[in-house]
Structure 1
Amino acid sequence: MYERQDSPAALPIYAQVSELLIREIASGRLADGARLPPERQLAATHQVTVRTLRKSLKILEEKGLLERIQGSGNYVRSNPAAQSIYSMFRIELLEGGGLPTAKFLDISEHTKPGDLPAFGSSPRGTRMRRLRFLNKKPAAVEEIWLDADSGTVDPAQVSDSLYRYYQMKLGFWITRAEDYVSIGKTPDWAPPEFGPQAGQMTGYIERLSWEQKPHPVEYSRTWFDTDIARYVQRLK
């Protein structure tokens, strides 16, 4: 059970439900071969109409994650190759899964500070700071830098899924990323609702992301609350 997100930045409701189910399948919380509850019951659980739920299930079916058996029901099918909007978001709840959402704290353009690794072709970049949630639990804070030559981020249009925003609004898509996982000190700009306080050690991820060009265009650093979430990488 989760509370759906209705903010302008959120994914469409049917996509939120499908993403949540996909992450539940990937984490094993919905096991291969499991029969889903009847559609009316599942729709009520996710606070959507049956029509909306069927749009969500159609996405799973197209990805090979659901089999509909006439007169029997809907059955989960494992498909490690299935991709989704949040396939590259590696943080999950400790119990697995969780729908990612975000609250932006700041979006502004700056000269890249000297402590960032080399990425992009411009000396400037858009810095985005946000609080990330999993099923509405504050799980991480992120600082994301997009190279200025890759486009201008519009704060009024940017969405929960940045990679989706890049593809739909800026005309490029992230093809691969490298993650470096360690521990780090929570930044002083982290909001009070994030569990670890400023200066406290917690889980830490640095990521470089590439589009179709040979050099990375984005750098991000993420601090995640290890009492709520964990970093997961599944080998396919």
Structure 2
Amino acid sequence: MYERHDTPAALPIYAQVSEVLIREIAAGRLADGQRLPPERQLAASHQVTVRTLRKSLKILEDKGLLERIQGSGNYVRSNPTAQSIYSMFRIELLAGGGLPTAKFLDIRDCEKPTDLPDFGTSNRGTRMRRLRFLNKVPVAVEEIWLDANCGTVCADEVSDSLYRYYQVKLGFWIARAEDYVSIGKTPDWAPPDFRQPAGSPTGFIERLSWEQKPHPVEYSRTWFDTETARYVQRLK
């Protein structure tokens, strides 16, 4: 399930495991008060060592999502305010949860086309196209535009979590976003791995994202396969 190759901005394995558990708690697949399986069994199910698993569980404990009771076990605790690396990724498998990963198809600097909404302060931007997965199942294709004045995206360093990359490599973070959900058609550049062919009706999300300034700096559009995934927004 987990990516074991080492890239400059890749999530470490223990963080990937914690993200899976956090998303399963948010989806209700792990309920408040539920006792987790013994650590050795849980580690085996996630194909990691017990030592790695314990680092994952420590992240959950620090976020108030886990209570360790000596001699009894580890218990899930609901915490609606807990944030994770993928807190703003709203697509889940139909059964709930799923670890998000991505395959970049194309990254290039170019002039913003006229069909994009107004965002940023430059007439140029970095356009990123990628195929999104949940638990290695292709669920969506994305086209993301970052305003050129926010910095240069390096194809050799960029990772699955763009928001984390922005913060670590470009020195800013996304503070809020607005999503507009509707129906769209699969773009003609979608790869064959995305099971909905070009022109097919799909779920469609447009997003404008803001950093700490009053104007948005990123625009994205996502086409997702409604046969395998759904858009989820949980109110807190």
- Distance of 2:65 and 2:214 partners within structure 1: 33
Q: What is the match of residue 102 of structure 1? A: 102
Correspondences of 1:184-203 after superposition (within 5 Å): 184-203=184-203
C-alpha separation in 1, matches of 2:193 and 2:153: 26
CA distance, structure 2, for counterparts of residue 6 and residue 221 of structure 1? 29
CA contact (8 A) 1:10 1:101 kept: no
Q: Which residue is 2:151 aligned to? A: 151
AA of the residue aligned to 2:2: R
8 Å CA contact 1:27–1:97 kept in 2: the answer is yes
Residue 141 of structure 1 aligns with an amino acid whose one-letter code is V
Instruction: Please show how residues 61-140 of structure 1 align to structure 2 within 5 Å.
Output: 61-140=61-140
How far is 1:133 from its partner? 0.2
AA of the residue aligned to 1:5: E
The equivalent of 2:30 in structure 1 is: 30
Q: CA deviation at 1:136?
A: 0.4
CA distance in 1 between partners of 2:227 and 2:15 (Å)? 28
Q: Deviations over 1:101-137 (max 9, x none)?
A: 0000000001000000000000000000000000000
2:170 — aligned with what?
Answer: 170
Residue aligned with 1:165, SS: helix
- 1:62 deviates by 0.3
C-alpha displacement at 1:45, in angstroms?
0.7
Q: Distance in 1 between matches of 2:159 and 2:134?
A: 16
What is the aligned-residue RMSD (CA, Å)?
0.6
TM-score in terms of structure 1 length: 0.98
CA distance in 2, matches of 1:208, 1:197: 26
Identity of aligned residues (%): 83
Structure 2: distance between partners of 1:5 and 1:90? 21
**Residue type at the aligned position of 2:186:** T
Correspondence for 2:2: 4
AA aligned to 1:143 is: E
Aligned residues: 234
1:15 and 1:147 map into 2 onto residues whose CA distance is: 29
Kindly report which structure 2 residues correspond to 1:220-235, keeping only aligned pairs within 5 A, or say none: 220-235=220-235
Residue type at the aligned position of 1:94:
L
Classify the secondary structure of the residue corresponding to 1:21: helix
SS at match of 2:145: strand
* Whole-angstrom distance in 2 between the partners of 1:6 and 1:88: 24
Match of 2:206 in 1: 206
State the 1:143 CA deviation. 0.2
Please, which runs of 5 or more residues in structure 2 have no aligned partner?
none
CA deviation string 1:137-192 (max 9, x = no partner): 00000000000000000000001000000000000000000000001010000000
Q: Distance in 2 between matches of 1:46 and 1:142?
A: 28
Q: How big is the shift at 1:5?
A: 1.2
Give the structure 1 partner of residue 17 of structure 2: 17
Q: State the alpha-carbon separation in 1 of the partners of residues 115 and 195 from structure 2.
A: 25
Q: 1:40-55 counterparts in 2 under 5 A? A: 40-55=40-55
Q: Give 3-state SS (helix, strand or coil) of 1:221's partner.
A: strand
Deviation of 1:10 after TM superposition, in Å, equals 3.4
Deviation at 1:195, TM superposition (A): 1.1
Match of 2:53, SS state, is helix
SS at match of 1:19: helix
